[in-house]
Amino acid sequence: VKQMSGLCWINGNITATQDARIPVLDHGLLYGDGIFEGMRFYGLQTFRIDRHLKRMRDSAQAIQLSITYDDAQIQDAIYQLLRKHQNASAEKMGQTGYIRLIATRGVGPLGLNPAQCKNPTLIIIADQLELASSAQRANGFSLCISSIRRPQGSGLDARVKSLNYLHSVLARIEANHNQTDEALLLNQHGQIAECSAENVFIVRDNNLITPPTTDGALAGITRELVLEMGQKLGLNCKEQTLYPYDLYSADECILTGSGAKLIPVRDIAGRRLKYSPGPVYKALHEEMENMIRLQYR
Ligand code: PMP
């Protein structure tokens, strides 16, 4: 399979990703003043695009960022980008990948006051993103518990998918240092928030449990889907505060995200879980792949 280079759309102009440029005075770069979304595409279709656009609008509203394009215009821009991507691709129908949607406050003076940022920048990148090898998916991830705490509520609400990802980046550096596949972030109270770019679920008996967003978790689109699928599988699905102990003693632990899809967890801070991958992971994974096959291929 020919490896595609990514394509990028910036305020209406499409270029190869490696040629795409934004001005150095864009406040997204200077101050992380912006928001983003990440989603998978299959052919010309974008997975749960309506939910991603809704979450982006909610994030924009929360940071008082006005996006000058409406949903139909953004969907059309994504479609144009995917058409170009597919035309350039050797293997037309099987083309899948990942879309990053970024909205920044735009260009302004060097100071941080956004009052003079008149035109927000909208960026759409279509490229490949693989967060786990097939061996990692088969064996499960090992997790460390990061010393970085996930900010929650006070200041920037964890539900805003902002360009401020330093806590996640620092947690990933710790994971690299610890030679684990990912890092878990706790909140200020020592409760489970999420991983650097995934939500966290545990399975205990017939329960499928994930922390509430108020504990510092992003309102993940995959998280929402997994709660729906779990319900269909007859599991008792709930949002509940979790502590490291709950993960250590769980039957299974599962990570979810648009990039990750579903990834089983093998061990947490050196403690081996009962199952990896477990029966619930397998059932959810199969359900999700079926859904993609039926609705997006
Ligand atoms: N938490 C964080 C911090 C993330 O960056 C992501 C990836 N967007 C997720 C959770 C998972 O969210 P989603 O399923 O919407 O991709």
Question: What does 212-260 look like in DSSP terms, one character per residue?
Answer: -GGGT----HHHHHHHHHHHHTT-EEEE----HHHHHT-SEEEEEETTT
Query: Would the CB of 180 count as within 6 Å of ligand 1?
Result: no
C-alpha 55/C-alpha 37 separation (Å) is 8
Mean pLDDT across the stretch 258-271? 97
Contact criterion met (CB below 8 Å) for 162 and 32: yes
Position in ligand 1 atom list of the atom nearest CA 194 = 1
| Average pLDDT of the residues of the chain | 94
Query: Would the CB of 59 count as within 6 Å of ligand 1?
Result: no
For the chain, how many residues are written? 297
Q: Please give the backbone phi and psi of residue 90, each rounded to the nearest 5 degrees, phi first.
A: -70, -40
Does residue 251 register a pLDDT over 60? Answer: yes
Instruction: Give the model's confidence band at 3: pLDDT under 50 very low, under 70 low, under 90 confident, else very high.
Output: low
Higher pLDDT among residues 151 and 24, named by residue: 24
Instruction: Give the model's confidence band at 91: pLDDT under 50 very low, under 70 low, under 90 confident, else very high.
Output: low
How far from each other are the two terminal CA atoms of the chain, in whole angstroms? Answer: 18
* Domains delineated in the chain: 7-127 (3.30.470.10), 134-296 (3.20.10.10)
C-alpha 123/C-alpha 15 separation (Å) is 11
Atom 3 (ligand 1) nearest CA: 197
Contact criterion met (CB below 8 Å) for 246 and 258: no
CA distances from 149 to 164, 166, 289 (A): 14, 11, 33
Bridge partners, 217 (sequence order): none
- Which of 198, 215, 288 has the most ligand 1 atoms within 8 A of CB, as the residue to mutate? 198
Atom 10 (ligand 1) nearest CA: 198
Query: Would the CB of 49 count as within 6 Å of ligand 1?
Result: no
In this predicted structure, what is the pLDDT of residue 92? 56
Position in ligand 1 atom list of the atom nearest CA 259 = 16
Number of neighbours of residue 181 by Cβ within 10 angstroms: 23
CA of 224 to the centre of ligand 1 (A): 11
Query: Would the CB of 37 count as within 6 Å of ligand 1?
Result: no
ipTM: 0.99
Q: Which of 93, 39, 63 lies closest to 222, judged by CA?
A: 39
- Which of 258, 261, 288 has the most ligand 1 atoms within 8 A of CB, as the residue to mutate? 258
Which range has the worst mean pLDDT, 19-33, 144-158, 215-229?
Answer: 144-158
Q: Please give the backbone phi and psi of residue 129, each rounded to the nearest 5 degrees, phi first.
A: -150, 115
In this predicted structure, what is the pLDDT of residue 2? 47
Query: Would the CB of 162 count as within 6 Å of ligand 1?
Result: no
Mean pLDDT across the stretch 262-290? 97
- Which of 199, 224, 228 has the most ligand 1 atoms within 8 A of CB, as the residue to mutate? 199
In this predicted structure, what is the pLDDT of residue 1? 40
Query: Would the CB of 256 count as within 6 Å of ligand 1?
Result: yes
Contact criterion met (CB below 8 Å) for 102 and 74: no
Position in ligand 1 atom list of the atom nearest CA 158 = 3
Q: Which of 280, 195, 209, 257 lies closest to 47, judged by CA?
A: 257
CA distances from 164 to 104, 156, 160, 204 (A): 12, 9, 10, 33
In the block, tokens 């017939």 appear at 206
Query: Would the CB of 194 count as within 6 Å of ligand 1?
Result: yes
